[in-house]
A and B are shown apart, each in its own frame.
Chain A
Amino acid sequence: MIKLGVLRTYYGWLALALAASIVLPLVVGVFWVHVLIEILIMGLFATSFNLLFGYMGQLSFGQAAYYGIGAYTTALMITKASIPLPLCMMASVLMAGICALIFGYFCVRLTGIYFAILTMAFGQLVFYIIFQWYGFTGGDNGIQGIPAPPLLQNVYVYYYFTLLLVIAALIVMWFITNSPFGYTMRAIRDNSDRTRFIGINIRKYMLVNFVISGMFAGLSGSLWAPFNRSIAPDLANWAHSGIPVFMAVIGGPLGFFGPLVGSVVYTFLSAFVTGFTEYWPIVIGVIIIFIVLFLPGGILGTLQQKTHPVETNNPNNKKKETR
């Protein structure tokens, strides 16, 4: 038996989640293995989004563009040129990064609602290009029959392949968010004005972060294409940009693993609820309302506040005030 004390620590939970992610597919049915893969891919997508939202304090409403670019790059390279999947993935990450660099150059000039609108506008631009370009992207027909490499055609193998890549990507993002660069992002989120006055070119840093975020979104899209075997322009549409927003809000944007927790909740519920009602959006709507009203900070944020309250006003202050 695991001692419950372990669960009081961050690393205890992490080890438990890791163990579950390894064992779960072996004990649940094939349908749920598909759901688990989706949880991982969308979790990666939502975590990439959260580099902008939770760490930089800007709401992107066009993150699906980079996901879509990743998915289409991989799908097109496989179906048109039979290029090996690892190369497709690298190209997807690169393409998403290049597009993020071009669009981000304009987006980081704005903040708040204007940032959100501009990211959305660029996102819709990508969507309509994919949607209309029948000769290349298949337009609204999408792309069907994207084969995974023979080795990965077994859904269990694809699951562990995805797990490995997502963990690797999460480790890289974890390091980035805890690096001086990551703290510079928090500084920009907290007080961008002040940050300029300690010698930081905030636009440049925001752009770098925008590109990093876009690249990881591209990777998640690239994982999706051979898994789902078919893709459609909707992957780049603004409604799809809303999903990582939901996930980050559900799980909690201020913790690194919040969006991942959000993906577990959202994707699981989506699969579970659609099993017996077609009114899934109502269910997620109610959940979002509940979380926003009663759990500000999301599931993870609320748990953390309960178990490890942040150190606030310490006794020293009171001493000084009464002196």
Chain B
Amino acid sequence: MASRPILQVIELKKAFGGLQAISNVSYQMEYGELSAIIGPNGAGKSTFFNLITAYHASDSGKIYFKGEDITGLPPHVISRLGIARAFQVSNIYPTLTTYENVRQAVLSQQKKTLNFFTPANRLAKSATMEILESCGLAEQGKVIAGTLSQGDKKRLELAIALGNQPELLFLDEPTAGMSGEETMETMELVQRLNRERNLTILFTEHDISVVFGFARRVTVLHQGELIADGTPAEVRASEKAQKVYLGEEA
């Protein structure tokens, strides 16, 4: 018998005004996947993430995480269940240090945020440092996050998401604005997280070579609909996908 999927999305729909951003998308992820969602601008990738993490409420459809219905739960509850996300535009705490940014997520995960009397700088040290190191940010720990370079901000964005020790991680264009080398470093980190911690990861990315280089499964979204889903090779071979998306790249 196949194990229960970590994520199951059934007939999800969302419209903004007259625009059907997500129409009838069903999607499923098994434990340990490293998968990508691709599609042209406005295809609904970010909206798809926003619906699953409850940034927006869906119009209809169901979302199950580890078999549990999470449809309509508020973001903080979903986050506590083990789903984390990194945002496309880095979404950090600009006046806190890099270390404090990550520590905040770790403290939340360790359920210590209602502690009023222990100095925060005595808590969550090792877990925070470990994440900073794995993301290549250890040296920037004391830097005020708002002054980091764009690439480092994106790295921090990922580090904050990891601070929650998630089981399922959504990365919305994790390498946007990074140089080629930074992109490779980040994607290698993503791959390592997937392999070593068995973290299930779904990411979006507009650089097709990155997608086909790292994702083991690729899903193509177009005008709010899933039009192809499979291994990179299968998607490459899919006529529909080529037509709407890959065609313009080839």
Contact = CB atoms under 8 A, between A and B. Distances in A.
Contacts of A191: 91-94
A187 B101 CA distance: 8
A200 B76 contact: yes
Contact of A313 (B87, B109, B143): B143
Interface string A178-192: 111111101101110
Contact of A175 (B55, B75, B87, B117): B117
Interface residues of A, number: 37
Interface SS of A by simple majority: helix
B140 interface: yes
Contacts of B93: 186-187, 190-191, 194
A187 B92 CA distance: 9
Given A180-B107, A194-B93, A202 B116 contact: no
Interface stretch (A75-83, A243-251, A314-322): A314-322
B80 to A, nearest CB: 4
Contact of B114 (A181, A194, A312, A314): A181
Q: Which range holds the interface residue count of chain B?
A: 35 or more
A189 B94 CA distance: 10
B113 interface: yes
A227 to B, nearest CB: 29
A1 interface: no
A180 B92 contact: no
B69 to A, nearest CB: 19
Interface string B76-119: 10011000110100011111110010011101110011111111
A294 interface: no
Contacts of A254: 95
B76 A201 contact: yes
Contact of B181 (A176, A179, A196, A323): A323
A286 interface: no
A199 interface: yes
Interface in B138-178: 139-140, 142-144, 147-149, 151-152, 160, 163-164
Interface in A280-315: 310-314
Interface of B: 53, 55, 74-76, 79-80, 84-85, 87, 91-97, 100, 103-105, 107-109, 112-121, 123, 139-140, 142-144, 147-149, 151-152, 160, 163-164, 179, 181-182
8 contacts: A175-B117, A180-B113, A180-B118, A182-B120, A191-B92, A198-B163, A313-B147, A314-B139
Given A180-B112, A199-B164, A320-B151, 10 more contacts: A178-B121, A182-B116, A183-B120, A193-B91, A194-B160, A196-B74, A198-B160, A202-B76, A311-B97, A311-B144
